[in-house]
Structure 1
Amino acid sequence: MSLSSNLREYIAACFTGLWIESHEHPDALAEIAQLCRDESWRLAVWGIERGLQIAGQDSSEVAGGDPLAAIRSINAVASPDSSALFVLQNFHRYLSSPEVIQTVARQVIEGRQTRAERQYNHVDPENRLIAASLERRWEQALDELEQARRLLRDLESGPPPAVKVSARDRKAFSDVGKQLPGMWNDLAIESRKALLRTLVMGVNLDRGDEGKVTVRLVWRGGLVTEVERQVPIHSRRYSELEERVVNRVRELNETGASTDAIISCLNKEGFIPCRGGEFTTAIIMKLKQRYGIISNLESLRQGNQPANKYTAEQIAAEVGVKREWIYRKISRGIIRIEKNSLYGCYLFPRTKQAVRELRRLKEGKCAHVSF
């Protein structure tokens, strides 16, 4: 349903105050203006930069920088014969002020009372039984209006007188903060809630894509505390975060790192699995299988080997011995060679010299061979 359709229904239902959120303010204002033209309603728009603007009239600087004056100028737009819309742009920035909140509440209640009175007066006297509900709504609106005016008077009268606190009570109260950690577990749930409502003005939570939640506590005194917590995520499959993890696994795999080494590196670098905790062998194997990551040794077995190297099986065929003969000589220290760090296995130089040396070893013409 479009914005104009929603507004038309709410206004017909006598809603006197509406909160609208939009990322395209010009488009929203254009749609509201078109609705007012279609329904012959009056329209006024207030903004801190351009002040009060009434459709069909010259721009005005009325209430240009005063949000309270802006709210009170609603009466200048009101019409006894039809509806009038008053748009306050970006007004959420002023809602932290108690005076602004009370003034908005009073205007909304006054609008509801005026609308209820007008509906009641338009009813034919012969149908007063039908208008009974309208009369009750009118009386309720009058009660709410009086309550809002009373609250506003209390607010405008200034803060309540300061309460004198004895030195003993002040000292006991100052020690509460130090004793609170020990007392917390002894407090009832309702007492904890009441204490938090006394100390905290608001709590904001922002959950990021990586499963980190930032909790922002705004205290009564104006101080702000921010805490980050890691929470589980149901799945990161094919997400941007998993892509970064997989790229890192692929980089480490290409260096010949073992699964244990990959796990250790990911945990040290701050990567976290979707369910929290640390990476395990099972998680790494799932990622490798899902993205087709194979070890260098497996790639070697599939025939992808360096052009300048022999495997143990290949050089054994060149020398004319079995592969076991090569491994047996290596285990006895007769063939001295280290495993290749990238592939995790023995690789021999693909040269005639290497083959010749191993043939001499086979024929007993030398005691050992080093590579």
Structure 2
Amino acid sequence: MSPNQELGLWQSEKIQPHHRERLAIVYVRQSTLQQVLDHQESTRLQYGLAQRAVGLGWSQERVLTIDDDLGKSGSSAEGRIGFQRLVSEVGLNHVGLILGIEMSRLARCSKDWHQLLEICALFGTLIADLDGIYDPGQYNDRLLLGLKGTMSEAELHILKQRLVQGKRNKAQRGELGFHVPIGYVRRPSGEVIFDPDEQAQQVVKLIFRKFEALGTLNAVLRYLVKQQIQIGVRHYSGSHKGDLEWRRPNRPTLQNLLKNPAYAGAYAYGRQQTDLRRKQAGRPHTGQVVMTPENWYVLIQDHHPAYISWEQYQHNQAQLKANRNRADELGNPRSGGALLSGLLVCEKCGCRMNVQYYQGNLPRYVCCRAASDYGGSLCQYLAGTCLDEYVSQQVLSALEPIALELSLQAETHLEQERGELDKLWQQRLERAEFESQRAGRHYRLVEPENRLVARQLAQEWEAKLKDYQHLQEEYKRFSHQQPKSLSESEKQMVRQLAEDLPTLWHSSSTTPVQRKEIVRQVIHRIRVDVQGESERVQVMIEWIGGTLTQAQIIRPVARWTQLSNYPQLCQRLEQLAQAQLSSQEITQCLIAEGFYPPKRLTTLKPDEVQKLMRDLGLGKRRGALERESLAEHEWWLTDLALALEMPMVTLYNWVRRGWVKARKQTHAPHHWIIWADTAELERLKTHRQCPSGEIQRQRWQGKVPEITIPPTEGKPS
């Protein structure tokens, strides 16, 4: 077909003069960058549509080519700057004709396609492809355009479904290739095997063993950094493809290594799947969700050699999950002073109790779920020191029968760890020696006359020799600090510490994190129930083996009245006071009978007992002469303070200011005597309830507060 005949197919009465007054836009798009590079004929055909627009009556300067979307998929308008620009130009009534070789170039999404049709119909814009020219404002043309857009979307779906199903079928056979993780290599036949480098294998095995021993990813990272252990990584592409490079350890690498089921010998496909609710339009790799092994598309165990068992892999995932700082997880041990963080459960509501610190590093366990979530009150709380001490005693008692076994295991563990580190050092030395010898061979093989190359190779050989010498010196220092086997003195020290567990437990060298790890090895959880506001706490320890230990401990409280035996204490104090005993004698009697102070001090003190007796009105009895010397409506200062329910020091301050009627005894012990009848008592109670700033406010106003002026009648002489 000649160009003129082909152009005749495009001639249509639908093109009106007002269309030619506006722009003709040629939209150019290829789905991927590979298509742009390898399928240039399609790109040239799309650019050639500009000449079609000229043939339809548009001038060259009125033809606009939009090619901003080369290499972008048409499945969504998000991220397609060219398509968005096209829609904007149509909405501004700047476009008379849109040209594309087919409808799939414009959009492969029904939502975007019909939005474009609506705007084109509204502003009278025509759409043209290789088959003809269409007017979206006409029903027949719009029906055909809608059908073409649906076919474009269906075509994309069919292609994608075919590719995805092919990948899944290949994955079900375990043949879908993937980048093998650190510690593995793939043979040309496709078989996955261990990395032939022994040092690379040894480092991977060490990482899994240390995670099993230490329990946290950060602890493993700190250990590798401290021991100067690097991880061998092979290049996947480039000029150094297949070469082994030693890199410093980092958190992302360790996390990927611990979470990858390939190290358990399993072939997995579908570990991450797309959640359409989280997917962001225009970003094809968003919306990825990590799935549980039960929801993976493919899981083939014993597919290739394994560094760990499948059970160990599952245990590692459970440990990583438990280390997360979440309310429903135990969390990893931290450096705080609270021994039982993450283990305590409130018996009243079943929620996990939190840790709060006050006065520096003193722990307090609080159940605050109702307060934080619903604005209610605290469920219960208690000081952490008393509970930590009790649980420590229980743990040490449980570990005491196996102290000898623990010491033997500690010796074996230390020797095994030192042996592994020594083996890594030997492999590093062997590698450094080989590299220095290879550099020497390269230097000796060069022609002496080629001085440019010889000088460079000599410098490389010298650098390798220096590295080897430096590594030898570091190994000597390491061997001196940590010999391969334990000495007899070190073994004896381990046995002595194991036999005296309390000393090791309370030693300053034992960190809070280590104590918490020991507790978590033997205790599953601890349920706590504080008995009202009293000092009694019901504790139930659930051990790992299923055994349950119940006990009642004493916690410190703020007031005497919170003690559960407070009524008995008051009754006993009254009996001892009637016996005319001294404060020291009363204190000794109370200690012998098992009474204790509210703040859980070591023992009762005479001054505390004396103060409590004064508060109860059980002070030392006055003699008969003193009782008879009081006139009507006269009070001893201590008795009046008790009657007014106010501190004795405050009433004494009123006496000094002259706010009450008072006199002092003329003979020893010179006690104060205060006059107060019924009216005076009411006045003093009113004064007691008066706000602290009321008297000062009246004085600022130039008034004399009446409440501070006692009546003159009946004043003691």
TM class by shorter chain equals 0.3 to 0.5
What's the TM-score once normalised by structure 1's chain length?
Answer: 0.33
Structure label with greater radius of gyration: 2
What's the TM-score once normalised by structure 2's chain length?
Answer: 0.19
Whose relative contact order is higher, 1 or 2, with alpha carbons under 8 Å and at least 6 apart? 1
